Amino acid sequence: MKKRILGKSLEVSALGLGCMSMSSGYGPPADKDEMIRLLRRAYELGVTHFDTAEAYGPFANEVLLGEALQPIRDRVTIATKFGFDIDLETGKRGPGTNSRPEHIQAVAEAGLKRLRTDHIDLFYQHRVDPDVPIEDVAGAVKELVAQGKVKHFGMSEASVATIRRAHAVHPVAAVQSEYSLFFREPEAELIPTLEDLGIGFVPFSPLGAGFLTGKIDENTKFDPTDFRNIVPRFSPEARKANRALVDLVRAVAASKNATPAQVALAWLLAQKPWIVPIPGTTKLHRLEENLGAVGVTLTEADLKQIDTASASLQLEGARLPEAALRMTGL
């Protein structure tokens, strides 16, 4: 597995592993023992960067990673997140955000215990807190870095103005936001800003929450607890309209003897050398398929073909429900 650098010095595998779906978001939690085997197999296949958050469960995903990665802790990097209003004793989630400095410190301490480690490699603010100046947030993480409990500071779903303000207080190593052929808005302002500041980019939902795999159509039924049930872009009508994008990716994949998922990930890897997608899965064969993307080379002609063809497509549906969009800070 090739390596990439986030920020100035955080070396990670070119593809990381997003771990949320193992515990929440896409239906019931997966079998713990199976997920431990999958996480360790990911490492054997070259993955060294694992992404989690206190909110995934809550807490269950950090506990899972702590157990699975403990034997190889010194050979991997773990990213986790703070920022939601979650009671650290009960796991009960409040309605909004909480990035008060004292809460950030408490979340870090709790996360270290669950992850069975003495440091967090990348600590993201999960969502911007409108009630706490970002300078105070960056200052709190800076203190954790000074204490040796955190190595690098990250931000998720933040505006470019907020990123610049935070970066002025303490260097931001990586920004995590949605980015894929299914959602290209970061190209307008975010990616140029990150390039200007020397900040890495970690796209979540790099496969469009599964849509770019080509395995989802207007007839697909999701588990009642799957968040896609309330996402406008995943309404049956939107899925039917947006199949044109999947058809485009499938055509390129056929010419490369690859799968649509591999082409979608290879496209992201080709955008910038400091982009590290974190596709998630609970299935070993999908993990192996996704990691095969690092061996798919898209030429300049391929990339131009994709851009030209996709520019004529009108994708339907918002990427998140309105309430979730209001929490992004974008």
Note the Cα 2 to chain centre separation in Å. 19
Closest CA to 107 of 159, 170, 48, 58: 58
Out of 43, 56, 124, 179, the active site residue is 56
Give me the phi and psi of 61, to 5 degrees please.
Answer: -70, -40
Q: Are 44 and 71 in contact (CB under 8 A)?
A: no
Distance, first Cα to last Cα, the chain: 33
Q: Are 173 and 122 in contact (CB under 8 A)?
A: yes
Q: Are 54 and 85 in contact (CB under 8 A)?
A: no
Q: Are 49 and 13 in contact (CB under 8 A)?
A: yes
Structure tokens at 82: 């703070």
Give me the phi and psi of 11, to 5 degrees please.
Answer: -90, 130
Helix (H, G, I), strand (E, B) or coil at 28: coil
Q: H/E element holding 287?
A: helix 284-291
Structure tokens at 247: 């058809």
**Residue in the structure block whose two tokens are 């997966």:** 30
Reply yes or no: is the peptide bond before residue 232 cis, omega within 30 of 0.
no
Reported in sequence order, the residue ranges of 83-220 that DSSP labels E, i.e. its strands, are 84-86, 93-97, 120-125, 150-156, 172-178, 200-204
**Residue in the structure block whose two tokens are 């931001």:** 172
Q: 314: how many CB neighbours lie within 10 A of its CB?
A: 7
Structure tokens at 50: 């694992």
DSSP annotation string for 41-89:
HHHHTT--EEE--TTTTTTHHHHHHHHHHGGGGGG-EEEEEE-EEE-TT
Residue 124: active-site member: no
Positions marked active-site: 56
